[in-house]
Amino acid sequence: MSPKKIIGLSLILLSMIGTYLFAPWLLIKLWLSPLPDSPQAQIEDILDYKVDGVILYIDQAGKAPEAYAAGWNNRANEMAASPQSLFKVASISKLFIATATTKLIQAKKLDLDASLSSLLPFTQGHIANADGITLKMLIQHRSGIPNFLDQPDYPWTDLFTEDLPALKLVFDLPADFEPDEKYQYSNTNYLLLGAILDSTLGYSHHQYIKEEILDPLGLKHTYSLLDEVNQDSLMSGYHIGYEPDIKGNNYIHPGGSMISTARDIAVFLRALNEGRFLNPEEQALYESLYRLEHTGLLPGYSSIARYDADLDAVVVLFINTSGGLSWSITEATYRRVVKVLKKD
């Protein structure tokens, strides 16, 4: 073997050793454990990893949809998790905002190249590069606007009841980069999109999403805001190291506020991926602008919704735990569920 190959293999080996040395052992245990025989067994297995409750929904072509649950819906009351429970889907909400925006662009109510300052004049002088940031850049997370959730003054323990105070956290801050220079995920982009939709429509974008997306798809268990639901139907949320149930925390900002069931999210995601909801022109525009899958994270709630083309399956995973290793556990569990399905 040549010295060059020996050096290359040594670097790979060192990289692998470093991964295992520095990765938490609990996560390594999950990575290395044998695959179970079924999705139900997989979600039951992860209850040993400081996870409270799990909901899993699988819609695979040629098979009846399957819903699974494990662990607690409500830990204090020892109420078992149910696949039908409502769940805070967090940033999965952005798929609905992007879809609504696409429909309005295609209807000529919005212009992709319109500047932020022309769409929301109050941002001029407060948001860096407001005259150079376009609607398209907001949709695609290429604006350079700082993420309001990353600001130290965001009040996680006493959440805002309006959007403007959250937006003001990034007023007069320097841009993270010049408009369209690169991709960087920022919740501020979708907070602004919510305001743009409201201004364009002349009424709440929540109403538009209900009338133009939720109702046509029959998504009867999807809501824009916590205030719209009976919290008895909402799965409890827990943050590692903090004992109380935090499902009553009312996060209201566009792109992160929606509540749904795993089934409703799966129905929406399949329709979006198969082009069965948007017309052909809207579908082409949407796919040029935004993704066809999403993850979500709020205190107490971790979620993943994706379509796997090899399986022709939509898989939605909800875990009512955040903090610690919970997000890594969520991602690893999702990958393992897909592997179980491909093994069958």
Residue type at 126 in one-letter notation: H
What is the residue extent of each domain of the chain?
39-343
Query: According to the model, what pLDDT value does residue 23 have?
Result: 53
Phi/psi-derived region of residue 251, left when phi > 0, alpha when psi is between -120 and 50, beta in every other case: beta
What b-and-e string marks burial along 160-189, b requiring 16 or more CB atoms within 10 Å of the CB? beebeebbebbeeeebbeebbeeeeebbbb
Query: What does the pLDDT average to over 119-130?
Result: 98
In a 13 Å sphere around the CA of 27, the CA atoms on its Cβ side amount to: 15
Q: Which two tokens stand for residue 186?
A: 């920022």
- For residue 22, name the pLDDT band (cuts at 50, 70, 90): very low
Taking only the tens place, the pLDDT of each residue in 154-209 is 999 999 999 999 999 999 999 999 999 999 999 999 999 999 999 999 999 999 99
Query: Which CATH architecture fits 39-343?
Result: 3-Layer(aba) Sandwich (3.40)
Annotate 198-262 with DSSP letters as a single string.
HHHHSS-HHHHHIIIIIHHHT-TT-BSSGGGS-GGGBPP-EETTB-S--TT-----TTS--EE-H
User: Residue 59 in contact with residue 314, Cβ under 8 Å?
Assistant: yes
Please tell me the predicted confidence (pLDDT) of residue 266: 98
Share of the chain above pLDDT 90, in %: 90
**pLDDT of 213-242, one tens digit each?**
999 999 999 999 999 999 999 999 999 999
Whole-number Å distance between alpha carbons of 121 and 156: 29
Question: Residue 24: what pLDDT?
Answer: 82
> pTM of the full predicted structure?
0.92
Mean pLDDT (whole number) for 85-90: 98
Helix (H, G, I), strand (E, B) or coil at 141: coil
Sorting pLDDT into bands at 50, 70 and 90, what band is 11?
Answer: very low
pLDDT category at 124 given cuts 50, 70, 90 is: very high
Strands (E), 91-206: none
CA–CA separation, 188 and 133 (whole Å): 13
